[in-house]
Amino acid sequence: MAKPIILDEQLCFSIYQAHKVYNRFYAKALAPFKLTYSQYIVLLALWQYGTLSVKALGERVGLDSGTLTPLLKRLEKDGWVLRQRSKQDERKLDVQLTAHGKKMQDTIDERVGTCMQWIGMSQDQYNSIRDAVSEVKDHLAEIPDGKFDKLPTPAEQ
């Protein structure tokens, strides 16, 4: 008989709960800018890396084109980014910050940075947890899909 799985002992449940709380946290922190968390991480990538193709941006922030395209259209409509065909390769669509998008970085960084202080962790604690969660993500990403084929299914029980 399998060992019972207890909800409150599951790392996945702790990460899920933290994800929900973080979403509420960022919704409040970003509300004055009318930005969602997904829009914010796109802006973070563009502030850090400059102009990126839609494909490269999606890979950087972990969003597929079905999610990224409407998000970018909204950011463009609101004056944060500009989407245009690459001069080097017409098949590629590049995304770059507008003057407004560049100008707002310091204001957003200051607001979000101030909010992050409320977590009440030292920088070392914060970095340690971030690194541990990243390590879990990396380990999960390395599990081949075929591994699941070897697990018991309802028909085998």
| 3 state DSSP class of 81 | strand
Asked, for residue 26, whether it belongs to a domain, the answer is yes
**CA distance linking residue 5 with residue 9, whole number of Å:** 8
**Residue 155's pLDDT is what?**
67
Secondary structure of 82-131 in HEC code, one letter for each residue = EEEECCCCCCCEEEEECHHHHHCHHHHHHHHHHHHHHHCCCHHHHHHHHH
The pTM score is 0.86
**Residue 42's pLDDT is what?**
98
CATH number for 106: 1.10.10.10
Asked, for residue 67, whether it belongs to a domain, the answer is yes
Asked, for residue 128, whether it belongs to a domain, the answer is yes
**Residue 89's pLDDT is what?**
82
- Domains held by the chain: number: 1
Asked, for residue 77, whether it belongs to a domain, the answer is yes
**CA distance linking residue 133 with residue 150, whole number of Å:** 26
Asked, for residue 7, whether it belongs to a domain, the answer is no
**Residue 86's pLDDT is what?**
79
Asked, for residue 12, whether it belongs to a domain, the answer is no
**CA distance linking residue 113 with residue 111, whole number of Å:** 5
The mean pLDDT values, 10 residues at a time, for the chain of 157 residues are 90 95 93 96 97 96 94 98 88 94 97 88 92 95 88 70
